[in-house]
Structure 1
Amino acid sequence: MPQPTTRARLTGYPGYSETLPREPESAATARRLVRVALSVWGLDDLADDGALIISELVSNAVQHARRESIRVVIDRPGAARVRVGVVDFSKVLPVRREPDPERESGRGLALVGELAETWGTELLPWGKWVWAELDGKARG
């Protein structure tokens, strides 16, 4: 199993990332990594939302991306601000749809939009990074 990496970021806070297989079981590993990072940073109040968001982002990448791996990234751009995201090898942008009660899928990005302060996508030369930010200050 790949080991998570920790690096200092420009904000001075560490960030965590891990390359995972592009398979549904990777969502559990991604949730654990988010919970560990938030615990280390003393932001446990964001752990449930962060874990749910990363699960949705991993699920989207598993369903729609290419190649055999994805990368989960957890950054801390500010003292109480956390960005969780998934990097994959597809340039196809995610589309937020209105949830259809008749379908089991299609609710993930709507849920991300409800839980996150903000979310977005950044295109990369070989794929994209889909991310969401949580702000501990906004929840207190």
Structure 2
Amino acid sequence: MADFELIEHTADIGVRVYGKDLPELFKNSAIALFSLITDFKPQPKKEQRIKLHTQTWEDLLVTWLNELVSNFFTREFLPHSYKIIIHENKEKELDAIVKGEDFSPYKKKINLEVKAATYHNLKIERDERGVKAEIIFDV
């Protein structure tokens, strides 16, 4: 099974993402996001730490992806790799170390300007093979 695949959507772009567990799903969602944005393969020259907490897994996934989009366009940081730890307490928590390098989306070629991950038809499902999610990105 592939880590992700494109899905049809009328105005925006969607991906179906798979993982054996939630950390892998979140990692593969980030990989899918940046595969849409650019073909450039960054090196792990810098490190960022991201800590998030929300009420639901769907909120956490959207918040995670939108944090990465924001970091890409405001901090000009393109991720290379992800180490993700997920905690389930009263709130859903993500603690990630993201390695990557500086990348100016305004100076280098990007394929697609993704504005945000959306809640449109968003669902995270579990089955015997793992976890999957369908995510629509606003472009």
State the TM-score, normalized to the length of structure 1. 0.31
Higher relative contact order (CA 8 A, sep 6+): 2
Q: Is the strand fraction higher in 1 or 2?
A: 2
Q: Is the helix fraction higher in 1 or 2?
A: 1
